[in-house]
Amino acid sequence: MHADTQTPSPPSVRVIEHATAFLRRRWKPILSAAALLALFGWFASGIHVVPRDECAAVLRLGRIAGEERSSGLLLTLPAGIDRVVRVRTGEMRRLELSAKRYTPLLLLTGDENVIEVELAAQYRVTSASGFALGAEYPEALLEQSLLRALLEAVASRSVDDVLTVEKGAIQQQVRQEVQSTVERYGLGIQLLSVNLMEVAPPREAASSFRAVSDSRSEGARLVSEAESARVADIARARGEAEALTMRADADAMARVEAARGQAASLLARLGPLEGSASGLTELQRTALERALGRVRVVVLPPGAKPELAIELEDRNRRRLSSSEGRRRE
- SS3 annotation, 252-282: HHHHHHHHHHHHHHHHHHHHHHCCCHHHHHH
Q: How far apart are CA 304 and CA 146, in angstroms?
A: 128
Mean pLDDT confidence for 61-68: 73
What pLDDT score does 17 carry? Answer: 72
What pLDDT score does 3 carry? Answer: 46
Q: How far apart are CA 287 and CA 316, in angstroms?
A: 10
Q: How far apart are CA 87 and CA 189, in angstroms?
A: 12
The 10 Å Cβ neighbour count of residue 254 is: 10
What pLDDT score does 178 carry? Answer: 94
Predicted TM-score (pTM) of this structure: 0.51
Q: How far is CA 97 from the centre of its chain?
A: 24
In this predicted model, which residue has the larger pLDDT, 253 or 65? 253
> Domain limits of the chain?
47-88, 93-209
The 10 Å Cβ neighbour count of residue 87 is: 19
Q: Do you find a cis peptide bond into 51, omega within 30 degrees of 0?
A: no
> Under a CB-based contact definition with an 8 Å cutoff, are residues 48 and 84 in contact?
yes
Q: Do you find a cis peptide bond into 104, omega within 30 degrees of 0?
A: yes
The DSSP annotation for 201-242 comes to --GGGHHHHHHHHHHHHHHHHHHHHHHHHHHHHHHHHHHHHH
In this predicted model, which residue has the larger pLDDT, 66 or 225? 225
In this predicted model, which residue has the larger pLDDT, 303 or 261? 261
Amino acid at 271: G
Closest of 85, 63, 90, 62 to residue 74, by C-alpha: 85
**CATH code linked to domain 93-209:** 3.30.479.30
Quick: pLDDT tens for 117-158: 889 999 998 888 888 777 788 888 999 999 999 999 999 998
Quick: pLDDT tens for 5-60: 556 667 766 677 777 777 777 777 777 778 888 888 877 777 777 777 777 878 77
Q: How far apart are CA 92 and CA 104, in angstroms?
A: 26
| Coil, strand or helix at 156 | coil
**In the predicted structure, residue 312 carries a pLDDT above the cut 50:** no
**In the predicted structure, residue 213 carries a pLDDT above the cut 80:** no
